[in-house]
Amino acid sequence: MSVEPNPYRQTHYLTSAQKISQLPADSGIEVAFAGRSNAGKSSAINCLVDQKALARTSKTPGRTQLINLFEVDEHRRLVDLPGYGFAKVPKKMKDAWVKNLEAYLQHRDCLRGLIIVMDIRKPLTEFDMQMINWCDMVEMPVHLLLTKADKMKFGAAKTVLLQVQKQLRDAGYDATAQLFSATKAMGLEEAHAVLNQWMEIE
């Protein structure tokens, strides 16, 4: 655990949007979280803000079907994007999600970076690579949280991390990656350092 005060502890729910047009004014700074529906995205957000239930966790993958915004302060927001790739929803709805995600990533000027949450046991899925590629096209910084790292022995987890980093390098992506566990608060300091940089928090 970080000994520094957590600047995200005051984060609170702001609004939810079904479409990009329903988002608040495109000003200030936003950092967004994306990931497969069962990757532990909500748990990761809750861990980072040191709150138990800011982002709703669900045993039913795909529950987050809206873009949920959380206000850190009047100039900064965290954005929980709809989970992708696993939810049992109609294809029409999935296609709408993909369209919304793409529009958000490409046209939201206040977006400073994307954190992609992925289960360390199933990293870099087709959808993850699609997200990374979108961000690469618009020169958006990307950081990967390899969640549920506590489910593996440290040596094995480290090996997966090195493999992911190599795969990103070989593909020509600048994305960074780290080990993370919401249940153990593992990797919290490293994740906060990335958030602070993008959020311009000293």
Contact indicator for 76, 96 with CB cutoff of 8 Å:
no
* Residue 76: domain span: 12-199
| pLDDT score recorded for residue 136 | 93
| pLDDT score recorded for residue 100 | 83
Q: Can you name the residues that pair with 151 across neighbouring β-strands?
A: none
CA distance readout (Å), 68 to 12, 114, 158, 201: 11, 14, 32, 22
Which stretch of DSSP H or E encloses residue 14? strand 12-17
Query: Rounded to the nearest 5 degrees, what angle is found at the Cα of 119, between the Cα atoms of 200 and 57?
Result: 75
Residues 5-33: tens digit of each pLDDT: 899 999 999 999 888 899 999 999 999 99
The stretches in the chain having pLDDT less than 70 are 1-4, 57-64, 85-88
Quick one: how far is CA 141 from the chain centroid?
12
**Which residues have C-beta within 8 Å of that of residue 67, sequence separation ≥ 6?**
16, 17, 18, 20, 23, 79, 80, 81, 82, 100, 104
User: Is residue 6 a part of any domain in this protein?
Assistant: no
* C-alpha torsion angle, residues 190, 37, 39, 102 (rounded to 10): -40
Closest CA to 111 of 123, 124, 102, 120: 102
User: Is residue 1 a part of any domain in this protein?
Assistant: no
Domain count, the chain: 1
User: Is residue 158 a part of any domain in this protein?
Assistant: yes
| pLDDT score recorded for residue 88 | 66
User: Is residue 3 a part of any domain in this protein?
Assistant: no
Which CATH number is 182's domain given? 3.40.50.300
User: Is residue 39 a part of any domain in this protein?
Assistant: yes
User: Is residue 4 a part of any domain in this protein?
Assistant: no
Tell whether pTM > 0.85.
yes
User: Is residue 7 a part of any domain in this protein?
Assistant: no
User: Is residue 56 a part of any domain in this protein?
Assistant: yes
| Buried b / exposed e along 48-73 (16+ C-beta atoms within 10 A) | bbbbeebbebeeeebebbbbbbbbbe
Tokens of 92: 């029409």
